[in-house]
Amino acid sequence: MGGLRKERPDQPAYTPRGTPLDFAQGKLVYTSQMRRRNRRYRLAAALLVVAVGTGIVVVIFADWLNSLAKWR
């Protein structure tokens, strides 16, 4: 079973690396989890910007092609 790790009895299974950050959600949120979440949000925002930019370029290109077709 390659997916399972053997744990030593003297070592806990999970030790968070950061300190608890946000108690407002009713659960502990560690700084490493916040960084991971922020990274996902930045990636999603970058992909959204690229998608919108690509859509605008495609619309402008299609309009330009349409105007060329009208001249003929």
Averages of pLDDT over each 10 residues, the chain, 72 residues: 58 57 60 78 95 98 93 72
pLDDT of amino acid 6: 58
- Cβ density class 4-38: b for 16+ within 10 Å, e for less: eeeeeeeeeeeeeeeeeeeeeeeeeeeeeeeeeee
* pTM for the full predicted model: 0.51
- What's residue 38's pLDDT? 85
Structure tokens of 15?
A: 């030790």
pLDDT of residue 45: 95
* Rounded Cα gap, residues 34 and 18, in angstroms: 10
For residue 5 the two structure tokens come to 């790790």
